[in-house]
Chain A
């Protein structure tokens, strides 16, 4: 299936994806309303946007006590806000720190229904929406990979 692929070496850390995501879903601007969060290391100049990896085996689905999280027919992870009670069990269960709670609801990337706005608006091509296997990369892994390539400690 198509997933959002992150290219850490391209990410400039501008966080426009956060603003675009927030606006797309709420017509307002706040990192708290964004389903993507850019992790950063200012010392080494590293940036990594974290969002739902669309894992086929999604631990938050199991962890949710009310069954609010499920997979759509397309295979996308989906949270039903009618059923979500904001307990945060999914936040704990997600291996990639890709879920946040705002106003007592879980925020999970919904791929904008198959046409992700963040990908279209990323100014540096750090995000691609392509056929790709599930990524298991964490920001720290990507950062270490780049540190190694750049010969810095």
Chain B
């Protein structure tokens, strides 16, 4: 098979130990099986990073990949995944962001960049089309994300180059340090910044001047115009255009699943004061968008007075806004903007950061943690000084922050208490939606292949509360009723496969999935007219299933079993007392049984069966199943 259209057609491999830079042609068969982006990373990581690899060692590999439609005018095709074995969770590490980095990688000629080994001295990687070099990093080591971006652009005298940067927190080995594109596009889950810094690499700079061609240009244009029209006419268009994801905060509060005071409550009495609506009315001055987006939904805010006067920047998204307000009992929206800015500059994941701070605050408020133990910090809900100090301390690995810098589970281990109050799965802190009000989301958190996370499935359709949809889609009315316990296994099975396809194609989940615009038949069609590779809707869905299974196998090879597919205790034992999600808990075991059965996995172990792996052309993973005899 010749080089398919759409793809750049090459994989760039950078071995830092040997200073060896090579390219490999993209294998078209592998491309069809895994589509691109997240899928390609999952496949290569499984094949190249064996069990028990030290996540912080030179044997770990950091992979950055993008998708077949990226670098064209296909709406929202702008994203990349960065993947490696995670130093936070010890399983499949993976994170995704938009902005303008991914198309630049394509224009430079690559679908995937694999970084392996470790340099002797702090360095950064500079890619300008075929010219790839490891550059001395003295000037940028120790610098914030924003400073690093400025220095690299200045050094190369090119304001069009794109960067992917880790902050000073990554250099100090904070386990949930992220990678940042366009300064504030955070690919910050699972510690991929930590991995990059462990290789003595501060940043990847990319500049591309090449060209992407699609298989059927005229049909492609028709499809793009059709999608742009559907997006503009969609009922969610206006809200997303004005507020981006911050529109969720008030919705979550009304529905009673807005995590408040470390998930002890589901509504926040100050929700309106910290809402996306308020941000839009009082702080936002301009919108920004990712590459080729039809709904630029990102926002520039400025603070005109008060203690943070002059602070300005891009964002925040709902997850950070909610994290730094309701989740830690803070009614001050400006403090939240400041905290989010600090996380971006220092290069840490807002969700894990606040997971640790919220957890510590709950212990402090319950009297389980004393001022002596926190180094004098008074961790009362919403205490501005404590919040900002702790963020800095985490990034610096100093004081009480050092205890929190390895994640909430390790922090509980170090203190010898409070594990039951951490809100994490497999070591990764959860997002901003209380699963007691979204039962399917809860199952999604429990089984997500990268640990506690909603973006592996994001079954937003639960919010419709319309049983007829669930009946039609899955023969299970409960699947699309948010408080119901039944049908969720089928729901998560389907939405995981769908999200895997969306991530592999590197389009935007908010638009293409949440707005129901790129379901399997259309994804298959778009893939075909872009790449020239024929694929059916069923094969597309199966690619999603394959990606989910290989990521699952990565975890299983590291020892994951059913008992790890769990949730924080309070979601299973303690109902919320107030709000529209009060009164129930998750029947997780029942949901897991249904999920494993739908997946074709062993219900006792949570492991894929050999038959399932064979069906998905993942025969090479079968010997890695525990108790496999062959």
Q: How far is the CB of B144 from chain A (nearest CB, A)?
A: 11
Which residues from chain A contact B209 at a C-beta distance below 8 Å? 30-32
- Interface bits B278-290 vs A (CB < 8 Å: 1, else 0): 0000000111111
- Interface bits A4-46 vs B (CB < 8 Å: 1, else 0): 0000010011111001100100011111110001011011110
Among A73-81, A83-91, A105-113, A145-153, the one that faces the other chain is: A145-153
A151 with B72: CB separation less than 8 A: no
Q: Does A123 interact with chain B (Cβ within 8 Å)? A: yes
B296 with A124: CB separation less than 8 A: yes
- Interface bits B175-218 vs A (CB < 8 Å: 1, else 0): 00000001110000000000000000000000001111110010
Residue of B nearest to A44 (CB): B312
Bound Cα distance A132, B224 (Å): 31
Residue of B nearest to A151 (CB): B304
Q: Does B474 interact with chain A (Cβ within 8 Å)? A: no
A29 with B213: CB separation less than 8 A: yes
A28 with B312: CB separation less than 8 A: no
B211 with A45: CB separation less than 8 A: no
Q: How far is the CB of B499 from chain A (nearest CB, A)?
A: 23
Residue of B nearest to A31 (CB): B107
B interface: dominant SS: loop
Which residues from chain A contact B298 at a C-beta distance below 8 Å? 12
Q: Does B593 interact with chain A (Cβ within 8 Å)? A: no
Which residues from chain A contact B293 at a C-beta distance below 8 Å? 12, 14, 16, 123
Bound Cα distance A12, B289 (Å): 5
Q: Does B314 interact with chain A (Cβ within 8 Å)? A: yes
Bound Cα distance A39, B183 (Å): 16
46-104 of chain B: CB within 8 A of chain A = 71-73, 100, 103
- Interface bits B219-242 vs A (CB < 8 Å: 1, else 0): 001000000100010000000000
101-125 of chain A: CB within 8 A of chain B = 121, 123-124
Residue of B nearest to A15 (CB): B291
B289 with A13: CB separation less than 8 A: yes
Q: Does B292 interact with chain A (Cβ within 8 Å)? A: yes
A29 with B211: CB separation less than 8 A: yes
What is the total of A-B residue contacts with beta carbons within 8 Å?
A: 106
B228 with A121: CB separation less than 8 A: yes
Which residues from chain B contact A20 at a C-beta distance below 8 Å? 73
Q: How far is the CB of B236 from chain A (nearest CB, A)?
A: 15
Given A29-B212, A45-B314, are A150 and B285 neighbors across the interface (CB < 8 Å)?
yes
Chain B CB within 10 Å — which of A45, A47, A124 has the most? A45
A12 with B310: CB separation less than 8 A: no
Q: Does B400 interact with chain A (Cβ within 8 Å)? A: no
Q: How far is the CB of B110 from chain A (nearest CB, A)?
A: 15
B146 with A12: CB separation less than 8 A: no
Residue of B nearest to A124 (CB): B296
Which residues from chain B contact A123 at a C-beta distance below 8 Å? 228, 232, 289, 293-296
Which residues from chain B contact A45 at a C-beta distance below 8 Å? 286, 288, 300, 312-314
B211 with A9: CB separation less than 8 A: no
287-342 of chain B: CB within 8 A of chain A = 287-296, 298, 300, 302, 304, 310, 312-314
A151 with B302: CB separation less than 8 A: yes
A12 with B296: CB separation less than 8 A: yes
Bound Cα distance A69, B184 (Å): 42
Q: Does B149 interact with chain A (Cβ within 8 Å)? A: yes
Q: How far is the CB of A9 from chain B (nearest CB, A)?
A: 6
B211 with A12: CB separation less than 8 A: no
Partner of B210, one of A30, A44, A146: A30
Which residues from chain A contact B417 at a C-beta distance below 8 Å? none
- Interface bits B255-298 vs A (CB < 8 Å: 1, else 0): 00000000000000000000000000000011111111111101
Partner of B159, one of A30, A40, A153: A40
Which residues from chain B contact A28 at a C-beta distance below 8 Å? 211-213
Q: Does B150 interact with chain A (Cβ within 8 Å)? A: yes
129-153 of chain A: CB within 8 A of chain B = 146, 149-153
Which residues from chain A contact B103 at a C-beta distance below 8 Å? 15
Chain B CB within 10 Å — which of A28, A29, A30, A151 has the most? A29
B313 with A14: CB separation less than 8 A: no
Q: How far is the CB of B337 from chain A (nearest CB, A)?
A: 14
Q: How far is the CB of A43 from chain B (nearest CB, A)?
A: 6
B73 with A19: CB separation less than 8 A: yes
Bound Cα distance A121, B231 (Å): 13
Partner of B107, one of A30, A39, A121: A30
A150 with B288: CB separation less than 8 A: no
Q: How far is the CB of A96 from chain B (nearest CB, A)?
A: 16
Which residues from chain A contact B288 at a C-beta distance below 8 Å? 12-13, 45, 47
B211 with A33: CB separation less than 8 A: yes
Q: How far is the CB of A4 from chain B (nearest CB, A)?
A: 18
- Interface bits B142-159 vs A (CB < 8 Å: 1, else 0): 000010011000000001
Chain B CB within 10 Å — which of A47, A146, A149 has the most? A47
Partner of B286, one of A9, A23, A121: A9
Which residues from chain B contact A12 at a C-beta distance below 8 Å? 286-289, 293, 296, 298
86-138 of chain B: CB within 8 A of chain A = 100, 103, 107
A16 with B312: CB separation less than 8 A: no
Bound Cα distance A121, B304 (Å): 34
Which residues from chain B contact A19 at a C-beta distance below 8 Å? 72-73, 292
12 new A-B contacts at CB < 8 Å, known A43-B150, A45-B286, A151-B304:
A12-B296, A16-B73, A16-B294, A29-B72, A30-B209, A30-B212, A42-B149, A43-B149, A45-B312, A123-B232, A124-B296, A152-B302
- Sample of 11 A–B contacts (CB below 8 Å): A15-B103, A16-B73, A28-B212, A30-B107, A31-B209, A43-B149, A45-B313, A123-B289, A149-B285, A150-B302, A153-B310
Instruction: Please give me the 6 A-B residue pairs with the lowest Cβ-Cβ distance, nearest first.
Output: A12-B296, A45-B300, A14-B289, A19-B73, A12-B289, A30-B211
